Amino acid sequence: MQHRSGSTLRGVITISLMTLNVIAWCTVLLTVALLKLIVPLQAWRRPASRAMTALAEGWIGTNNAIFRVMGSLPLDVRGLEGLSTRDWYLVVSNHQTWVDILVLQAVFNRRIPVLKFFLKQELIWVPFLGLAWWALDFPFMRRHSPAYLAKHPGKRGEDLDVTRRACEKFRLIPTSVMNFVEGTRYTEHKHAAFKSPYRHLLPPRRGGTAFVLSAMGGMLHAMLDVTIAYRGAAPSLWDLCCGRVGTVIVDIRKRPIDDWMSSGDFAGDLAFRNRFKEWLAGIWAEKDQLLDRLLS
């Protein structure tokens, strides 16, 4: 395990600075969000949304400055060429730890539009952050178990409705829609339970990706296929704050979004569903081989 030496004192300082950063930026962000809610004029709402995006970028930028000063998040990034804050992107990535989100924000801040994640409904109650995510139009999803859906069949498709409404908002200003395609964080237990055909990855869940592509129509300019590699066990937030994370490799591959990907019916067209499955499985097999090389 190739962690650098770190200290508890460094961790306390880093997480304290991050907490103060959240409070400072979110206070201003929520003030603008409240004004956006109160004033119903469309001429005001779009500038307010742009102002909140700038505030979010400032918040992330300050976090990144904290990481640089504390030496917490060393990055080796490949593939940032040709990106723009004026384009719409679908960003997909493997997922191992909550640190992935901080890594992605550090890599993409002010290089593409602010990343919009699909979040569990319970996360709206996280102090400061939950309201900030709500203000920035992050979609909150209710994840129902199969047993719950069997008793409440009317709840089926609820997540798809949330996705559709979120994607309508994303049409207003350039947006990066973030999707962890595996649907959950990788662990050895899940890898065995899902009988994954990949060495370093869980099987991709195709429905969410297909639906975002369909809902966004021809608006998305490209898909950014991101591979995050940690040499050793996936770090926790505390590991990051204490400076116990070795260099994180981030590989970015810009892939075209062909017309067929956004024009098919994933739910109702078996031929389209099989074609989409094969396309995504090919990307995942390539990502697995890349992780083999990066981690060797």
Question: pLDDT tens digits, residue range 268-294?
Answer: 889 999 999 999 999 999 999 999 999
Sign of CA dihedral 186, 266, 173, 27: negative
**In angstroms, rounded to a whole number, what is the distance separating the alpha carbons of residues 205 and 194?**
12
Domain ranges, residue 52: 8-295
CATH value at residue 96: 3.40.1130
**In angstroms, rounded to a whole number, what is the distance separating the alpha carbons of residues 56 and 44?**
18
Say if 3 falls within a structural domain.
no
**In angstroms, rounded to a whole number, what is the distance separating the alpha carbons of residues 249 and 229?**
5
| Residue of higher predicted confidence among 49 and 10 | 10
pLDDT at 3: 47
Q: What percent of the chain has pLDDT over 90?
A: 57
Q: Which of 172, 164, 92 is nearest to 136 (CA)?
A: 172
DSSP classification of residue 98: T
Q: Which two tokens stand for residue 132?
A: 């900030």
pLDDT at 103: 97
Say if 249 falls within a structural domain.
yes
Segment 7-14 shows an average pLDDT of 93
Say if 228 falls within a structural domain.
yes
Say if 251 falls within a structural domain.
yes
User: In the chain, how many domains are there?
Assistant: 1
**In angstroms, rounded to a whole number, what is the distance separating the alpha carbons of residues 282 and 136?**
33
**In angstroms, rounded to a whole number, what is the distance separating the alpha carbons of residues 171 and 183?**
24
Residue 163, pLDDT above cutoff 90: no
pLDDT at 140: 72
Who's near 133: CB < 8 A, 6+ residues apart?
Answer: 117, 119, 123, 124, 140
Say if 2 falls within a structural domain.
no
**In angstroms, rounded to a whole number, what is the distance separating the alpha carbons of residues 42 and 215?**
23
Strands, E, within the chain: which ranges?
Answer: 75-78, 89-93, 115-117, 119-120, 140-141, 176-180, 222-229, 248-255
Segment 149-155 shows an average pLDDT of 60
**In angstroms, rounded to a whole number, what is the distance separating the alpha carbons of residues 191 and 291?**
15
Angle at 259 between CA 285 and CA 112, to 5 degrees: 70
**In angstroms, rounded to a whole number, what is the distance separating the alpha carbons of residues 120 and 273?**
26
Residue 218, pLDDT above cutoff 60: yes
pLDDT at 80: 96
1 pLDDT tier (thresholds 50, 70, 90): very low
Say if 150 falls within a structural domain.
yes
Share the mean pLDDT of the chain. Answer: 87
Pairing of strands 222-229, 248-255: antiparallel
Question: pLDDT tens digits, residue range 171-196?
Answer: 778 889 999 999 899 999 999 999 99
pLDDT at 2: 45
Residue 73, pLDDT above cutoff 70: yes
Say if 126 falls within a structural domain.
yes
pLDDT at 101: 94
Say if 271 falls within a structural domain.
yes
**In angstroms, rounded to a whole number, what is the distance separating the alpha carbons of residues 230 and 188?**
15
Question: pLDDT tens digits, residue range 24-70?
Answer: 999 999 898 888 878 877 777 778 888 989 999 999 999 999 999 99
